[in-house]
A and B are shown apart, each in its own frame.
Chain A
Amino acid sequence: MTDISAMLTQTATHTLECSRLTKHYGAQQVLRGVDLHVRSGQIVALLGPSGCGKTTTLRLIAGFEEPDRGRIAIDGRVVTDAKTAIAVEQRQIGMVFQEYALFPHLSVADNIGFGLPGNARDKAGRIGELLALVGLAGLEKRMPHELSGGQQQRVALARALAPQPRVLLLDEPFSNLDTALRAQVRSEVKAILRQAGITCVLVTHDQEEALSLADEIAVMFDGQIAQMADAQTLYHKPATRQVAAFVGEANFLPAMAHGDQAACALGTVGLHEAATGSVDLMIRPEQLQLLPEVNGVRAVVRWQEFYGHDQRIGIALESGEALTVRMDGDAHFVVGETSGVKLRSAAHAFAGATVQTT
């Protein structure tokens, strides 16, 4: 991010730029300076716990609400700043709502055609294309209440895509679907969005959804974006302890670092990046391995949760630290027994270990 040439090329192709957005509701500060830059054609997920301000951010981008401070530009055109507040209907934003918000008095075709200009004949072609795109050809005469949840959602998507918006916003688009359906719909939607090549911001509190759908994920806590990166980076090199704990599961272990090694309760372990002094190591449960033979570091098995394909095992080190281990389902350990434990790959270090967070 500090590379100037990278910054320049990014600005040139950014479809959506949000800078330092702040927003209060009464005395409560909901957004504390949100920066979000989305490149053309990119799918960005806004991931964070419930109530952290994701929906608010989306509503500011759409123009339903105005920020206290900050600036929003779409395709280089400022739509929100201290002097500007372009109306929602002039922003060319598409939005898919959590509850779909289909118009109950209009048929599928009329819903999709709502935002299109011209008379019925002008619209018909485009409506047909979109019906085909979302796989609902033949259902154009149906009314919204005659559709299943997944079908309603695809109508909402087609309706939002029809006027060719510059940015598509999706607020928890899968939360109203049955879990059994969700994975299926998710991959369909991903394919549709990819084919449409549209710039997307997708809000979710479900990390699996974010990781599987988005090119980049912006993790948000308490009205601020803590880190924006691709899934791999986010998982392996989280910017903060909070991100590490929210995206996947993480063990934290205090250590003394010197160069690319650190000394901790697991002995001397390798580091991703060189560090010095007192640090906190972040260790994913699958980085740990329990060994039947007890030589080296010893651990007592405290609890066990079996999931079939894998299992989570809680251990206590001799030094007292509690850690979680994730292993294949066929490994056999008994609660109360002592076994060996080792770190299988390099750990990620956070500088300045003071408090122990788990």
Chain B
Amino acid sequence: MSIVTRSLTTITKPVAPAITGRGIRVSWRIPLLPVLIAGLISLPILLLAAELLTPKLDLWAQLWSTVLPRMLGNTLLLMAGVGAGTLIIGTGLAWLVTMYQFPGCAFFDRALLLPLAMPAFIMGFIFMSLFDYAGPVQTAWRALFGRSAPFPDIHSGGGAIIVMTLVLYPYVYMLARSAFREQAGVTLEAARALGCGRKRAFWRIAIPMARPSLAAGAALALMEAMTDFATVRFFSFPTISEGVVRLWEGRMDRVAATELASLLMIVALALLVVERQLRGRARYHQQGGSGRRPVRAALKGQSKWGAFAVCALVLFAAFVLPIGQLVLWAVHEINGHVPGTWETVYGQYVGNSFALAGIAAVLTVGLALLLAHSARIWKSRFVHGLTRIGTMGYALPGSVIAAGVLLTIAPVDHTLHEWLGTGLLLTGSVVGLMYAYVVRFLAVAHKSVESSLDKVKPSMDEAARTLGARPWDVLRRIQAPLVANGVLAALILVFVDVMKELPATLLLRPFGLDTLGVWAYMLAAESFWQAASIPALTIVAVGLIPVILLMRTGDRA
């Protein structure tokens, strides 16, 4: 009570200024910003969908009689193969590292995420070079078993599926691991108390409970597999995505490319619906968990080394081997350097890539912040729906987005040209490319920004308002400092994703603006493996940054 005996003159005589402000009540308000952003993102998709409603039948007939059946079949095969492969490897590894103790298990627990840094097409050309007829593996094979010793044909769907499985399994691994951890603790112990062994618990408890997480992880992996056109091209296994790029780039047939892209979009949207449904359920399932990890059982003897070997083999094939090969090539390239080759353009392409990635990151994260901020202010279902529309681009292959973006901005370009004689102001510039990046990566940025905004409790906003802060002040003085980390993470993620992005960049880049990715792809497509290693290694190095951050925060993934 001693605290109140001090002099309090200023507090007892409030001399507040008059309550000011007009405060006219507006009876209807439109959440303008989220409407605009959602509109911007959905326009390319809607225009593509409209294409599908007015199909060019003769074109489809021609496609159907030529390449389409094979592409469609290959796409489905690829999805089935990559789906099964990532599920088996991702789930199996996640089970091993969460449930058992074996040499290096703590290391593998995190290191198995490393392949995330590797774009599929880089992995693709490395494996192609290693296992091709002239590559070291087949050469050694023939040396050992004679000239005519049979070797599976690497130019096949199997090769593409293996490569993509190796780079994409971490999506399943990540979600499976957290599902096992969060549910396994209590539930599995309960099951085992009821006399159910670990192996049976895996099939009867863990897998059924984690099913939504597993399927969501597989869906994410499939989305990545669908956006790829380069790997399947290296392995001569054309999919629809590859077809879009081939028609657009090779034959300059944008009409046919657009038609094909609209078909691919249907598949992608179906996948998106599945993934979103399962995600919601996965979250619900995991809320029940106690957060306590299951006790790891110590493996003994053979099984101990078996588990080690499985993890080591996957990590070797998916990360150590390709990185080693890249480094080896790069060393050769630098040692046997012919002046006037790569060093003349390296700086320029690095600059291009970084500039594009930097601008796209700032733009995307800025829009994500606005979207997340307005969702907090409006708290309406309508705005929530708009947010979901605005963040669906991650499911769409780059080639689909490129086609949609072109459909959107071409008419604007024509109109501008007719009025002002500007030429192809948007289509030929970096604007179209940025648009595509924003559509594709807004979800990545939004997720990171939103989860950090969630840490700012609504009552903090409200407390600031009662203390005289206007909405803008709240954003500047409260939310911005508190979400700074989340914003930084979002910037890094988008930056790296743009660096790794290939199809949209290839199709929409302005004439003469090449990036590290495009450069690496072009060289690899001409089998200049050694030269391609320099840009490829640069991309992988940048790609490692978010993966290492992810490995350090680890469990929250």
A interface vs B, CB < 8 Å? 62-64, 66, 74-75, 77, 79, 82-95, 97-99, 101-105, 114-115, 126, 129-130, 132-135, 156, 159-166, 187-188, 191-192, 194-198
Contacts and interface: CB of A to CB of B under 8 A. Distances in A.
Given A86-B21, A101-B462, A166 B16 contact: yes
Interface stretch (B1-9, B58-66, B181-189): B1-9
A353 B431 CA distance: 79
A192 B464 CA distance: 22
Interface string B1-29: 11110101011101110111101110000
A104 B482 contact: yes
B245 to A, nearest CB: 47
B23 A159 contact: no
A164 B15 CA distance: 8
B4 A192 contact: yes
A64 B8 CA distance: 30
A197 B15 CA distance: 13
Given A85-B24, A99-B459, A101-B457, A196 B8 contact: yes
Contact of A166 (B14, B20, B465): B14
B423 to A, nearest CB: 47
25 contacts: A83-B24, A83-B25, A84-B24, A87-B21, A87-B465, A89-B467, A89-B468, A90-B20, A90-B21, A95-B466, A97-B462, A97-B463, A105-B482, A115-B469, A133-B4, A133-B6, A161-B11, A164-B14, A164-B15, A165-B466, A188-B4, A192-B3, A194-B4, A195-B4, A197-B11
A304 B8 CA distance: 50
Nearest to B1: A191
Interface of B: 1-4, 6, 8, 10-12, 14-16, 18-21, 23-25, 457, 459-460, 462-470, 477-478, 481-482
Top 3 nearest A-B pairs (CB, nearest first) are: A115-B467, A135-B3, A86-B23
A276 to B, nearest CB: 50
Contacts of A156: 463
Contacts of B459: 97-99, 101
A101 B463 contact: yes
B460 to A, nearest CB: 5
Contacts, number: 136
A35 B3 CA distance: 35
B251 to A, nearest CB: 56
A66 B11 contact: no
A89 B466 contact: yes
A95 B21 contact: no
B21 A196 contact: no
A92 B467 CA distance: 8
Nearest to B2: A135
Given A83-B24, A133-B4, 14 more contacts: A62-B462, A83-B25, A84-B25, A86-B23, A91-B19, A92-B19, A101-B457, A103-B464, A133-B3, A135-B2, A164-B11, A192-B4, A195-B11, A196-B11
A184 to B, nearest CB: 9
Contacts of A83: 24-25
A174 B219 CA distance: 48
Contacts of A198: 11, 14
A192 B21 CA distance: 31
Contact of A92 (B16, B24, B457, B464): B16
Nearest to B26: A85
Contacts of B470: 87, 89
B466 A88 contact: yes
A44 B467 CA distance: 22
B482 A95 contact: no
A139 B362 CA distance: 39
Contact of B481 (A105, A162, A166, A196): A105
A166 B477 CA distance: 24
Contacts of B24: 83-85
Given A89-B468, A192-B3, A95 B462 contact: yes
B11 A64 contact: no
Nearest to B23: A86
A201 to B, nearest CB: 13
B19 A90 contact: yes
A82 B27 CA distance: 10
Given A195-B12, A197-B11, A197-B12, A93 B466 contact: yes
B1 A62 contact: no
A66 B25 CA distance: 10
Contacts of A101: 457, 459-460, 462-463
A6 to B, nearest CB: 26
A167 B428 CA distance: 60
A88 B19 contact: no
Nearest to B470: A89
Contacts of A92: 16, 19, 468
B32 to A, nearest CB: 18
Contacts of B457: 99, 101
A105 B16 CA distance: 28
A92 B17 CA distance: 9
A62 B2 CA distance: 32
A104 B2 CA distance: 28
B430 to A, nearest CB: 36
A105 to B, nearest CB: 5
A86 B24 CA distance: 7
Nearest to A199: B14
A129 B463 contact: no
A89 B465 contact: yes
Contacts of A91: 19, 466
Residue from B1, B462, B468, B481 with most neighbouring chain A CB atoms (10 Å): B468
Contact of A77 (B3, B18, B482): B18
Contact of B478 (A63, A79, A103, A135): A103
Residue from B2, B8, B20, B463 with most neighbouring chain A CB atoms (10 Å): B463
B11 A129 contact: yes
A188 B3 contact: yes
A296 to B, nearest CB: 48
A74 B464 CA distance: 20
A93 B462 CA distance: 11
A115 B468 contact: yes
A70 to B, nearest CB: 13
Nearest to A105: B481
Residue from B4, B20, B24, B482 with most neighbouring chain A CB atoms (10 Å): B4
Nearest to B18: A77
Contacts of B3: 132-135, 188, 191-192
Contacts of A86: 19, 21, 23
Contacts of A160: 466-467
A15 to B, nearest CB: 10
A133 B11 contact: yes
Nearest to A130: B11
Contacts of A87: 21, 23, 465, 470
A85 B466 contact: no
A156 B463 CA distance: 9
A240 B98 CA distance: 62
Residue from B1, B8, B467, B478 with most neighbouring chain A CB atoms (10 Å): B467
Contacts of B460: 101, 103
B482 to A, nearest CB: 6
Contacts of A103: 460, 463-464, 478
Contacts of B477: 114
A60 to B, nearest CB: 13
Nearest to A168: B466
A114 B11 contact: no
Nearest to A169: B466
A198 B470 CA distance: 24
Contacts of B6: 132-133
A82 B25 contact: yes
Residue from A82, A86, A89 with most neighbouring chain B CB atoms (10 Å): A89
